[in-house]
């Protein structure tokens, strides 16, 4: 490789490329966090109060998430600097990617690529159709950091190989960058085998005794190199072992049965993964399916044949890039796709794309080097340069158009979130440690509600649980006036789904426990116990939506009874409301609802309401209950259609002023 300094045009091209990447990837939604961002900040919120305890993130069992201490520290530093203002997070994340692009260019030059080819490869790395959810998503910073340090480790090792006599510091840097990558992202475990492969693949392999070549390359590895490789492989082994021991809320390897791993050795699974991956690399391919997913075996055979020929006829860097790509994709398949295929996204190609670009760039340089010197002959080889340049430009254009479309979707999504935030702040002006927020539906997954609430209300400390989806409220089983339950309609309206909680001192949810469901016969005698799932829904007219239990009834079957065994506190009051609708758009035919209470051997009717045909309004039921350690409460309905019991509950309000 020539040591000649690249011309100024190349340097200006790199600067222009980085500026273009900023224009393309700096998000238009920079005023909002997205999805997991809220949870990542929640993870470090306690550390933000005592930054000197940040070393805890290096404990593999500190967080029930991926082991990525550097990402935790990155979020901590950003939070201490910018708080809940995401603008700075996005800038720093984009700068990390730009630094990775610059290091990528440097490494390609170290691999021997010519400046123009290296710039073209850097352009394709800087702007890729799937970089939107890695470069412009704060929570994906671990992938970018891992890519940066992986490239840096390669660069340091290449520098050592060029000057082994005085390259001790480069070996030390190789180890340092590997360790930084290891605490950044899981794909770092591939650094040691890839570097060793590059070391042992030196020299010509065709028409020679490959065993002799391998022995010669092994002898060429210095003791210092073996020591560094030994440390890296030992760290990798410990790292992999930890993944099977530590908890992980997203993907738990420890809980994966052996039979599951064996299932994913089946050709059908890796053929589908191959087709799924190929469509992500191709421009303008519908990600929902099409030919590639319809014929995965054909696609896989074609890919295998193409890669085999490419590997055989390619040079050392081409083969290295292909091995890099396949190793990363194999890891993604084993650790992610085989566990939760729905999580597989474009961001998981960030590392594999680096290897594929190395192979593409090396192949392009190989083709360009074979062009004949006679420029007056219009041969295919003479057209290789313009054809490759045109292909790269078209791929870049496709990536830019795809990114712009995705930017628009993410902007619409965050605008929806911010509109919900404004509505929530209006419904609930402030929160305290006594506040607990739940949601039936929410623009952001309800599982993140505590983290979202902390960010939307600028909380510097973690709020006390419970928070989250309705299942969390069901497990809690009770509420006070500081419990808020929201629902989010498709039209963008956020509203208080249970305003009744703020009207009383205490609420015990009857629906929080599973009922015994019976079909009653004559004289209300139990006829048969039904194996039915309790259906929870939101029902009612637009201006009076309520959480309710939905019961499907048939006139010919008589009473359908939901029996609950309850403890009634002193002053307890039964409260609910009932409503009817017809089946599948039919008019409401009329129903009868009743509530019975059994404190001894017999049950008596607390309330009974007959709703006439066509009436779909809510009808309230309120009845005092005797204080008992155990009573049986029956919610029963007879008729035809769908019946609704709105938030059946026991309330206490005697402490209210």
> 54-99, pLDDT tens digit by residue?
999 999 888 888 899 999 999 999 999 999 999 999 999 999 999 9
**Run of H or E residues at 147:** helix 141-162
Helix axes 384-427, 8-25, angle to 10 degrees: 30
pLDDT of residue 197 exceeding 60, the answer is yes
Listing DSSP states for 602-635 in one string gives: SEEEEEEEEEPTT--S-EEEEEE---EEEEEEEE
At residue 463's C-alpha, the angle toward residues 51 and 653, to 5°, is 160
Strands (E), 483-590: 483-488, 494-496, 506-509, 516-520, 526-529, 535-539, 546-553, 560-568, 573-581
State residue 472's pLDDT score: 94
Length reported for the chain:
657
Helix axes 316-332, 350-369, angle to 10 degrees: 160
pLDDT of residue 287 exceeding 70, the answer is no
State residue 289's pLDDT score: 56
Strand 494-496 to 468-469 pairing? unpaired
Indicate the domain borders of the chain. Answer: 428-503, 509-652
CB half-sphere exposure, 430, CA atoms < 13 A: 2
| Burial class (CB within 10 angstroms; exposed 0-12, middle 13-18, buried 19+) of 269 | middle
Q: Which residue has the tokens 């009845």?
A: 623
Q: How far apart are the first and last CA of the chain?
A: 85
CA distances from 533 to 293, 529, 551, 571 (A): 35, 12, 10, 31
- Which of 485, 510, 355, 356 is closest to 424 using CA atoms? 485
Helix (H, G, I), strand (E, B) or coil at 289: coil
Strand 619-624 to 506-509 pairing? unpaired
State residue 254's pLDDT score: 63
364-370 LR contacts (CB < 8 Å, sep 24+): 364/117, 364/120, 364/388, 365/113, 365/114, 365/117, 366/314, 366/315, 366/318, 368/114, 368/117
* Higher-pLDDT residue of 532, 382: 532
- Say what percent of the chain tops pLDDT 70: 92
Q: Do the Cβ atoms of 148 and 100 come closer than 8 Å?
A: yes
Q: Do the Cβ atoms of 510 and 566 come closer than 8 Å?
A: yes
User: If you average pLDDT over residues 599-605, what whole number do you get?
Assistant: 83
State residue 455's pLDDT score: 95
State residue 215's pLDDT score: 83
- Which of 118, 112, 99 is closest to 11 using CA atoms? 118
Q: Do the Cβ atoms of 382 and 373 come closer than 8 Å?
A: no
State residue 561's pLDDT score: 93
Q: Do the Cβ atoms of 60 and 88 come closer than 8 Å?
A: no
Torsion angles phi and psi, residue 357, rounded to 5: -65, -35
State residue 281's pLDDT score: 84
pLDDT band at 609 (very low <50, low <70, confident <90, very high): very high
State residue 375's pLDDT score: 54
The string of pLDDT tens digits covering residues 17-56 is 899 999 999 999 999 999 899 999 999 999 998 989 999 9
| Burial class (CB within 10 angstroms; exposed 0-12, middle 13-18, buried 19+) of 252 | middle
Q: Do the Cβ atoms of 177 and 152 come closer than 8 Å?
A: yes
Mean pLDDT, the chain, rounded, equals 88
User: If you average pLDDT over residues 230-257, what whole number do you get?
Assistant: 82
The string of pLDDT tens digits covering residues 362-379 is 999 888 877 555 555 555
- Which of 462, 473, 471 is closest to 437 using CA atoms? 473
d(CA 572, CA 628): 10
d(CA 648, CA 534): 13
For residue 411 the two structure tokens come to 């902007």
Q: Do the Cβ atoms of 550 and 643 come closer than 8 Å?
A: yes
The string of pLDDT tens digits covering residues 504-549 is 999 999 999 999 999 988 778 888 888 889 999 999 998 899 999 9
d(CA 387, CA 393): 10
Q: Which residue has the tokens 């479309």?
A: 405
State residue 585's pLDDT score: 66
d(CA 331, CA 259): 18
Q: For the domain made up of 509-652, give the CATH fold.
A: Jelly Rolls (2.60.120)
State residue 381's pLDDT score: 60
Strand 436-439 to 468-469 pairing? parallel
Q: Do the Cβ atoms of 459 and 490 come closer than 8 Å?
A: no
* Higher-pLDDT residue of 45, 600: 45
For residue 217 the two structure tokens come to 């390359």
State residue 657's pLDDT score: 42
Q: Do the Cβ atoms of 636 and 563 come closer than 8 Å?
A: no
User: If you average pLDDT over residues 302-321, what whole number do you get?
Assistant: 92
Q: Is the dihedral of CA 119, 122, 124, 129 positive or negative?
A: negative
pLDDT band at 217 (very low <50, low <70, confident <90, very high): confident
- Which of 126, 186, 125, 120 is closest to 150 using CA atoms? 186
d(CA 559, CA 553): 8
User: If you average pLDDT over residues 271-296, what whole number do you get?
Assistant: 76
The string of pLDDT tens digits covering residues 331-360 is 999 888 888 888 888 899 999 999 999 999
């Amino acid at each position: 490789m020539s040591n000649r300094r690249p011309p100024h045009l190349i340097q200006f091209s790199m600067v222009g490329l980085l500026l273009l990447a900023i224009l393309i990837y700096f998000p238009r939604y920079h005023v909002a966090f997205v999805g997991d961002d809220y949870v990542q900040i929640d993870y470090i919120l306690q550390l933000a109060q005592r930054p000197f305890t940040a070393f805890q993130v290096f404990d593999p069992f500190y967080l029930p998430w991926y082991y990525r201490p550097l990402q935790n520290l990155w979020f901590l530093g950003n939070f201490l600097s910018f708080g809940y203002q995401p603008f700075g997070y996005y800038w720093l994340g984009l700068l990390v990617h730009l630094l990775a692009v610059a290091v990528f260019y440097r490494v390609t030059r170290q691999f021997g690529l010519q400046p123009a080819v290296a710039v073209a490869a850097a352009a394709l790395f800087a702007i890729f159709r799937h970089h939107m959810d890695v470069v412009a998503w704060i929570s994906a910073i671990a992938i970018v950091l891992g890519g940066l340090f992986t490239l840096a480790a390669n660069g340091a090792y290449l520098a050592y190989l060029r000057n082994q006599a005085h390259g001790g510091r480069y070996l030390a840097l190789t180890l340092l960058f590997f360790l930084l990558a290891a605490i950044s992202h899981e794909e770092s475990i591939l650094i040691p085998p890839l570097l060793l492969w590059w070391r042992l693949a030196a020299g010509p392999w065709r028409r020679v005794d490959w065993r002799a070549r391998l022995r010669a390359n092994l002898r060429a590895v210095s003791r210092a190199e073996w020591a560094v490789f030994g440390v890296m492989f030992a760290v990798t082994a410990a790292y992999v072992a930890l993944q099977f021991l530590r908890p992980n809320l997203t993907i738990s390897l420890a809980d994966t049965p052996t039979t599951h791993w064996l299932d994913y050795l089946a050709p059908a699974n890796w053929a589908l993964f191959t087709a799924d991956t190929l469509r992500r690399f191709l421009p303008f391919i519908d990600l929902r399916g099409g030919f590639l997913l319809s014929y995965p075996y054909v696609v896989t055979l074609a890919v295998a044949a193409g890669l085999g020929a490419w590997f055989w006829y390619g040079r050392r860097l081409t083969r290295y890039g292909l091995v890099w790509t396949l190793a990363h994709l194999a890891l993604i398949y084993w650790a992610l796709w085989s566990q939760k295929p729905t999580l597989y996204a474009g961001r998981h190609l960030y590392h594999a794309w680096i290897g594929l670009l190395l192979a593409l760039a090396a192949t392009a340089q190989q083709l360009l080097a074979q062009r004949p010197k006679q420029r007056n002959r219009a041969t295919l080889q003479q057209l290789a340069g313009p054809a490759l340049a045109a292909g790269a430009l078209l791929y870049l254009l496709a990536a830019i158009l795809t990114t712009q479309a995705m930017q628009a979707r993410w902007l619409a999504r965050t605008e929806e979130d911010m509109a919900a935030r404004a509505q929530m702040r209006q419904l609930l002006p402030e929160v305290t440690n006594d506040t607990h927020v739940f949601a039936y539906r929410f623009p952001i997954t309800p599982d993140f509600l505590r983290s979202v609430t902390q960010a939307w209300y600028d909380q510097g400390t973690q709020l006390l649980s419970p928070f989250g989806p309705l299942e969390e409220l069901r497990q809690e089983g009770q509420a006070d006036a500081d419990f808020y339950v929201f629902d989010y309609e498709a039209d963008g309206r956020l509203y208080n789904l249970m305003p009744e909680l703020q009207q009383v001192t205490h609420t015990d949810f009857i629906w929080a426990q599973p009922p015994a469901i019976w079909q009653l016969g004559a004289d209300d005698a139990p006829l048969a116990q039904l194996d039915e799932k309790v259906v929870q829904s939101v029902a009612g007219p637009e201006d009076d939506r309520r959480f309710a239990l939905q019961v499907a009834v048939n006139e010919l079957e008589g009473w359908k009874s939901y029996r609950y065994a309850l403890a009634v506190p002193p002053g307890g009051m039964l409260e609910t409301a009932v409503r009817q609708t017809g089946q599948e758009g039919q008019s409401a035919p009329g129903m009868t609802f009743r509530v019975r209470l059994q404190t001894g051997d017999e049950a008596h009717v607390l309330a009974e309401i007959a709703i006439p045909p066509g009436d779909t309004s809510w009808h309230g039921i309120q009845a005092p209950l005797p204080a008992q350690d155990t009573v049986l409460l029956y919610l029963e309905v007879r008729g035809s259609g769908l019946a609704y019991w709105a938030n059946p509950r026991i309330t206490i309000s005697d402490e209210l002023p």
